[in-house]
Structure 1
Amino acid sequence: MKPRRFLVFVLIFSLFLAACSPAQKDHAIQSVKVLEPIQLTLWHYYVGQNQQTLEDAIVEFNQTLGTEENIIIESVSHGSVAELEASLSNSAKGVINSAPMPDIFSCYPDKALEIDALGMIADLNPYFTDEEKAGYVSSFLADGYFDNRLLILPIAKSTELLYINATAWNEFADATGLSHTALETWESIWTTAQKYYDWTDRQTPDTPNDGRIMLGMDSVQNYILAGCKQSGVDMVDAETKNIILNLPVLRKLFDLYISATAMHYFGGSGKFRSDNIKSGELISYIGSTSSASYFPTWIQKDTTRQNIQFLALPYPLWQGGEPTVMQQGAGMCITKSTAEKERAAALFLKWFTGKEQNMAFAMNSGYLPVKADIYRGEDFKDALQKLDQGNESQKNVAMVYDIAFQQVSGYTAYAVRPFKNSYMLRPLLLSTLTSAAESAQQAADTLKKQKMSSAQILSSLNLEQRFADWIESLEKALQNEGISYQKI
């Protein structure tokens, strides 16, 4: 990355944030000291470096401000968002053998609505002054408001990018004359992935139909939601409390994803696509900026270890669509409790989202800090340059910030506004699309054995009927969950 260009984007992003939030001086954290120690439990889903950074921060809090204020924080990692949300639901509903509700917990807006409906989430407004709230990036803070109640405090945010094994891509691009422009739109990515499959298939002429997958997605749900938004549709309509099934738009998204997966142009296995990069199963994937630190610096090729170069590109667009990308990242909620516990929990969150702590937590892995003045400070610029001069993983994170800043200045960041039970749309999209893709892939594999061409196979897949079947299965799933929807 070129340092001069890099700092230009930092400046652009800083100006963007300046428009969103007024500059603020550090606000003093008001003491809540009590005589008896207050012990608070914090549940989260972070793993690896993110977990270590959070736990280091908690140790620091306990030894400094926590000691002064007689507050002790204990953290518990639940390993994944799904596991954390299941535990939260069980605890909030009082399921037998479930643990008591934590005092503080990581939470996405849709799950927060579910827990709030049970009367378990504290409104944070009484614990944060207007001046303190003005210090957060306004669009980040807005995600946590429901009916003028602040239920979620932003901790760190992320967006999605296209990650590439540049070593493998360059070899393919040199052989085919392609450039990065072939990865700008979903339509061109489909064509490029087909070319990659055919190119790798030709390398083993004695073994037909063994071409390799080019692209994976960490979240096919985000592919659908962002694709709808790029096409002018909010699939989750919080105003009417409906899931919007816009059939022409969904047909476009369905056909591209299902056909590419059926033909082994798109794919992946296991939990994270970065693992598929390391195994050599994929050469690219769509993932969160927060996954940058997990991108491998080497892969296992045949029986040898091969170092690879990293490349990050902006999130793909649909031709003619509005530049839109998902804004995501769980914030933290405080469980309704005594006034003393709620104030103590709020004190910790104020401290954790302070400049030094928030910058350290976010920048270890590609998250975006949530305080506006962080981006305007020299410390942030120095930290970015330090990353760019660090080890390979740190350089990867620095590149991610570069591309993320470009997206902020050129894309609309989209955060879904949920309504009651709308959180179920994500698992329903995943399960129904996975089923549809597996069925189409089995059919395509059978047709390949009959030595049909790619064009013949795609024609024979009958995507129109498969789309109708998918919509029917999605409708039934929504009905079973009691979620209202509108088909247009």
Structure 2
Amino acid sequence: MKKIILCLLLCVSLLAVGCGADKGKLDPNNPVTLTMWHVYGSQTKSPLNDMIAKFNAGEGKKKGVIVQVVSVSNSTAIDKMLLSSAAAEPGSVTLPDLFTAYPRIMNKLDSNLLLPWEDYLSKEDLAVYREDFLKEGYYKQHLYMLPIAKSTELLFVNKTFMDSFLADRHISLQQLTDYDTLFALCPKYYAWSGGKQMFQINDFYHYFLTGMASLGDSFIKDGKPNLSGDKFWRIYQPMAQAAIAGGLCVEKGYASDRWKTGEVICNVGSTAGILYLRDYVTYPDNSKKQIVTAFLPAPRFKESSDKHILLQRGTGLFAVRSKQESKNQAAAVFAKWIAEKDNNLEFVTRAGYLPVNKAAMQQLMRYPELVSNKKYRQLYTVLQQTESSGTYLALPLYANAASVQAKLESSIKQILADAHKQYMRGLNSGAEPQPLLEQLTQDSLQQLQEAMK
């Protein structure tokens, strides 16, 4: 009888050990490997890859966690890969353990696939984040996305080329932060340069979001773009006229590509775009000219509210819920580490982003001069001017948000490009410039409204 009892006790103890293992106890001698897809840089030059290498050699080694980056791509490609893998489509790959994506992915993926971070991070762990950044990651009462870095938008100026244009116009660079001044200069530069574009808005969707918000209205209403009313016309008219008359680029692609060749000399875009803005221009004959880059606050309208509307951009960190509990625990270890003040600060300042850790943000905005890279130091000094008087605006989350944004971008560029061609043909035929411009502007808005129905 005693032998039977001993055997039963042994079985119970073994079961207890097994249950303990199921709870995800990490073991440095038997590390857990997490695969990851992300968007930060490229495979060969990525600030996040460098931070992951640091994690693996330090905290990861100590806790028994290894993060393995298997894909560095853009957010659109990652979205497609995630949806393909989640649906187990032919040729799809296994879902990663960790990935970065915009909040829009939460509308598309089965939330049962995602790890609710609040089950693995304490209130103290979550308290280190800025609340306005953290709240964007909630969906259906669960925290599925953690912020790891945020960006906003600035005006980037090729000062070397812009100074030549502004030299006899008695306009300072600082005046370019007024949208009316900036748009009015576009056609003048177009004529002065012999038909080159001066300015590019990387995301018209973002332009409308911040412009409408600065005037006290919303661009997205009931899940649809608000393309009517006096306030929308206020921000649409000067922009459209600059594109139709020439000087505002409405071609496909990002300004960083045209920046390299001097095809555009200023643009509104993400602060993280600094990674791709070179300090020289390459001419068609392959010769190069060194340039100086100026950073200015994103332009505003005269009627805008006193507070700067700072667009809140950036992907967040997701984890795929695993049946292997140790993987869930390991994901939390990495999430906590990358959000720690010093780690978060090191990561973001190498990529032109803003910290999500409250203490890190306070330190960066108080002492931007401590950033070693001169260009990045200038960028954060400009952000210091707007951050204290600004309010962050997150991208609205609604059904089909990504497809609505994509459709708006392609539609407005095509419509305005066609209107520019009509304008040039009209001028060549002897039409009066101003009446023609006003008519084409009205027509372009009607076409956009029809396209977005």
TM value normalised by structure 2: 0.86
In the aligned structure 2, how far is the partner of 1:49 from the partner of 1:221?
29
- Verify the 8 A CA contact 2:178 2:302 in the aligned structure 1: yes
1:243 aligns with 2:224: yes
Alignment of 1:423-462 (within 5 A): 423-452=402-431, 454-461=433-440
Q: Does 1:466 align with 2:452?
A: no
Match of 1:79 among 73, 82, 89: 73
CA-CA distance at 1:268 after TM superposition: 5.9
Residues 365 and 384 in structure 2, CA contact (< 8 A), matched pair in contact too: no
**Aligned counterpart, 2:91:** 97
Is the Cα contact below 8 Å between 1:293 and 1:397 reproduced in 2? no
| 1:329 shift after superposition | 0.8
Structure 2 counterpart of 1:372, from 358, 370, 374: 358
- Map Cα deviations across residues 242-294 of structure 1 (whole Å, 9 max, x no partner): 32525023333333333222222100655331221220111100011111232
The residue aligned with 2:253 is 271
SS at match of 2:249: coil
Partner of 1:150: 143
Q: Is 1:336–1:342's contact at 8 Å kept on the other side of the alignment? A: yes
Q: Distance in 2 between matches of 1:383 and 1:49?
A: 28
RMSD: 2.5
Give 3-state SS (helix, strand or coil) of 1:176's partner: coil
Q: 1 CA distance for matches of 2:174 and 2:337?
A: 44
Per-residue deviation, residues 106-134 of structure 1 (Å, max 9, x unmatched): 0111222322x453211100111111111
Letter in 2 for 1:314: P
Q: Tell me the CA shift for residue 199 of structure 1.
A: 2.8
Q: Identify the residue that residue 65 of structure 1 maps to in structure 2.
A: 59
CA shift for structure 1 position 234: 2.4
Give the counterpart of 2:326 among 331, 340, 347: 340
Distance in 2, matches of 1:184 and 1:53, equals 30
Mean alpha-carbon deviation: is it higher for 366-375 or for 268-277?
Answer: 268-277
Determine if the alignment matches structure 1 residue 331 to structure 2 residue 316. Answer: yes
Shift of 1:167: 1.2
Alignment counterpart, residue 320 of structure 1, candidates 303, 319, 327: 303
Alignment partners' CA distance in 2, 1:107 and 1:171: 41
Give 3-state SS (helix, strand or coil) of 1:175's partner. coil
CA shift at 1:442, angstroms?
A: 2.2
* Match for residue 359 of structure 1 among 317, 321, 345: 345
Output aligned runs, 1:184-203, within 5 Å.
Answer: 184-200=177-193
2:288 corresponds to: 305
Deviation string 1:412-434 (CA, Å, 9 cap, x unpaired) is 21112312322322112112212
- Mapped partners of 1:296, 1:39: distance in 2: 36
Q: How many residues align?
A: 425
The aligned amino acid for 1:405 is Q
Paired letter, 1:173: L
Q: How is 1:145-224 mapped onto 2 (pairs within 5 angstroms)?
A: 145-200=138-193, 210-224=194-208
Question: Cα distance 1:441–1:419, how it changes in 2: closer, same or farther (>3 A)?
Answer: same
Residues 318, 50 of structure 1: alpha-carbon distance in 2 compared, 3 angstrom cutoff: farther
Q: Does 1:397 align with 2:376?
A: yes
Q: Which residue of 2 aligns with 1:108?
A: 102
Check the 8 A contact 1:355/1:374 in 2, yes or no: yes
Map of 1:27 onto structure 2: none
Larger Rg: 2
Gaps of 5+ in 2: 1-23
Unmatched runs of 5 consecutive residues or more in structure 1: 1-30, 201-209, 388-393, 476-488
Check the 8 A contact 1:109/1:417 in 2, yes or no: no
SS of 1:313's partner is strand
Match of 1:134 in 2: 127
* 1:219/1:76 CA distance change after superposition, 3 Å: farther
> Structure 1 residue 43 and structure 2 residue 22: aligned?
no
Q: Which amino acid aligns with 1:247?
A: S
Distance across 1 between alignment mates of 2:275 and 2:187: 29
CA distance in 1, matches of 2:36, 2:424: 48
Q: 1:349 aligns to what?
A: 335
